[in-house]
Amino acid sequence: MVYLVVRMKGTVNVPQWANLTLENLHLNKKFRATIIPENNQTLGMLRKVKEHVSWTSIDKEFIKEFIEKKGRLIESNLGTKTATAGGQVNNINNNDSKSSDEGENKKSLNYDFEKIATDISQNQTYLSKITGIKPWFALNPPRGGFKKKSKRSFSQDGILGENKELVSLVRRMM
């Protein structure tokens, strides 16, 4: 299993030690999300910054949907490489004809989202090791607003910390 982690608070008045942990999690801005493996090290990092983030365990279907909708391509790799799970890079044969349309470049990339989602959910690869996709996702504020308090932990009727209802909140943020 893996964790979906979303930064819920901004960058002002964040201690340096918490900012360093958030940067290691690729959560540099408010409403950024990432997918990280579920182990003791990452759980310790999440508990360290629990006043700034929300997290929950997610399944393979949500990972696939999330990467398809909010995954960002790395522009330097557009049209030249394909992303595969495990960090392997496959070159695409480009004819010397230059296309100015980015849609054609995106169509030439072969992303097997099903395989990527399966490998991530089984902890065989990390999101940061996949070439061609950025290791973070930019989310919008939730449609309809937060239904609970955004400055309290989940156990105190808020959204911070380990949040069992985070998947429904993130669906409203996509």
Per-residue confidence (pLDDT) for residue 84, from 0 to 100: 53
Per-residue confidence (pLDDT) for residue 111, from 0 to 100: 75
The pTM score is 0.80
Query: Assign residue 35 a region: left if phi > 0, alpha if psi is -120 to 50, beta otherwise?
Result: beta
Q: Measure the CA–CA gap between 6 and 34, rounded to whole angstroms.
A: 7
Per-residue confidence (pLDDT) for residue 157, from 0 to 100: 92
Whose structure tokens read 């090791």? Answer: 129
For the chain, domain boundaries: 2-65+135-165, 72-129
Per-residue confidence (pLDDT) for residue 104, from 0 to 100: 44
How many CB atoms are located within 10 Å of the residue 89 CB?
13
Residue by residue, DSSP assigns 55-85 as EEEE-HHHHHHHHHHH--B-GGGTTTEEE-T
Q: What is the pLDDT along the chain (174 residues), one digit of tens a residue?
A: 899 999 999 999 999 999 999 999 999 999 999 999 999 999 999 999 999 999 999 999 999 999 999 998 887 654 444 455 555 444 433 344 444 444 444 444 567 889 999 999 999 999 889 888 999 999 999 999 999 999 999 989 999 999 999 999 999 999
Judge contact between 159 and 169, C-beta under 8 A. Answer: yes
Q: Measure the CA–CA gap between 67 and 137, rounded to whole angstroms.
A: 8
Rg of the chain (C-alpha set) = 17
* Residue 114, CA distances (Å) to 83, 117, 151 in order: 12, 5, 36
Per-residue confidence (pLDDT) for residue 90, from 0 to 100: 44
Please give the single-letter amino acid code of residue 141: P
Helix (H, G, I), strand (E, B) or coil at 9: coil
Architecture per CATH, domain 2-65+135-165, reads as 2-Layer Sandwich (3.30)
